[in-house]
Amino acid sequence: MNKERIGVIGYCWGGGNSLLFATRNSQLKAAVVYYGPNPANIDDVANIAAPLLGIYGEADTRITVNVPALEAAMNKHDKSFEYKVYPGAAHAFFIDTGTRYHPESARDAWKVTLAFLEKHLKG
């Protein structure tokens, strides 16, 4: 493990907290948010030092409707933000024991996540 290459990942409430943590820890090298809400103060993203990956479900309108605001704030503050919205996927689509599990989206999201983490944490 390289102590200089630390990332954070979270799902739902934890996704929102991984985003919030990224606004408060300048030592992070990567942050991944699975269908987590934006920070209460969207301009807190100005404090993010790490690249951010967002994973969202199209049918999760309560969360996904706010992605454009996050993208705009990240662009405004010249921050690295990649995201993917999965068609037909709902909130919690990654949980393979839940009724909203969307296997195709979950498999792809995990591949995207691993590639993002390898790009930003390996080294």
Q: Among this protein's residues, is 60 annotated catalytic?
A: yes
Q: Among this protein's residues, is 43 annotated catalytic?
A: no
From the list 12, 44, 78, 120, the catalytic residue is 12
From the list 44, 78, 91, 108, the catalytic residue is 91
From the list 43, 44, 60, 77, the catalytic residue is 60
Q: Among this protein's residues, is 44 annotated catalytic?
A: no
Dihedral angle, C-alpha 110, 30, 54, 97, nearest 10 °: 40
Instruction: Return the beta strands (E) in the chain as ranges.
Output: 7-11, 30-34, 52-57, 81-86
Alpha carbons 100 and 58: distance in angstroms, whole number: 12
Question: Which residues are tagged catalytic?
Answer: 12, 60, 91
